[in-house]
Amino acid sequence: MIVVVGSLGWRSAPPAAPAGRACGIALAAVARGAQAELVGRVGEDATGEALLLALAQAGVGHAAVLRDAARPTLLVAPAAAAPDQDDEASPFEDPSPAPARTATSLAGAAGPRLEGADVDLGIRYLAPSGVLVVTEDVPSDVLAAAVEAGQFAGMRLVALVAPGGLASRALPAGLPDDATVLAAPDQDDAGAFDALVGAYAAALDGGADPAAAFAVAQGATGWEPATPD
């Protein structure tokens, strides 16, 4: 089993769908044939109901997703991609709409707040074995709780950090020696990074070692890390 801990959102613009890094990774893992469960929070509202229904229809488990009566489910609106600076708009024609880009990381968003106790409760309830993925949009105390609960359950840890790598986030002490730490890209227009992490987690869950799992994930998604300048 793959357990993904993170912030959950709902993309309101057509086609409406689950949004956020955690949802993207869980959906990608299920698409690779793995069993995936989410640990997070949604509001006690119609949007939250739609989100959970969509996850269930896609085969993603949400038994450990809590309902928050105080805060609404986070709505993620697509942001227009910035046009290339070299492109010049014609003064005689309306510019064509820019392609939509939906944020996958919900760091700092004002939705339901996941807490460390939620993660401990969720993992104990699921009693999983396999792979634990923690996204970069959770607070440090949630990451620390996830690391501790995952170690107790004997899970392989995959921790994501925000663009900028370790300089942007202090990892908790006692990180397992076999933990994988991946830095998210600045932009992920097509969800390629989510697909990479989901495929990597699925391969790990299937018994591959990290190097082989990453090679499988790269081959499955076509992901190519950016080369340094």
Residue 87 lies in a domain: no
Domain with 41 in it:
2-78+102-220
Structure tokens at 101: 């880009």
How high is the pLDDT of residue 142?
A: 93
Residue 94 lies in a domain: no
Residue 84 lies in a domain: no
Using a 10 angstrom Cβ sphere, with 0-12 exposed, 13-18 middle and 19 or more buried, the burial of residue 197 is buried
Indicate the SS3 state at residue 34. coil
**pTM for the whole structure:** 0.84
Please state, in angstroms and rounded to a whole number, the distance separating the CA atoms of residues 203 and 201: 5
Residue 174 lies in a domain: yes
Give me the mean pLDDT over the 74-85 stretch.
63
Residue 138 lies in a domain: yes
Residue 22 lies in a domain: yes
Q: What is the pLDDT of residues 163-207, one digit of tens each?
A: 766 655 678 877 888 899 998 887 766 688 999 999 999 999 999
The count of structural domains within the chain is 1
Structure tokens at 106: 């919900």
Please state, in angstroms and rounded to a whole number, the distance separating the CA atoms of residues 178 and 65: 27
Please state, in angstroms and rounded to a whole number, the distance separating the CA atoms of residues 111 and 107: 10
Q: What are phi and psi of 134, to 5 degrees?
A: -120, 120
Tell me the three-class secondary structure of 130-175, residue by residue: CEEEECCCCCHHHHHHHHHHHHHHCCEEEEEECCCHHHHCCCCCCC
Q: Is the pLDDT of residue 152 over 70?
A: yes
Determine the Cα angle at 194 with ends 16 and 140, to 5°. 100
Q: What is the pLDDT of residues 30-55, one digit of tens each?
A: 999 999 999 999 999 999 999 999 99
**CATH, residue 13:** 3.40.1190.20
Residue 170 lies in a domain: yes
| Window from 1-5, 7-11, 57-61, 108-112 with minimum mean pLDDT | 108-112
Residue 27 lies in a domain: yes
Q: What are phi and psi of 130, to 5 degrees?
A: 135, -120
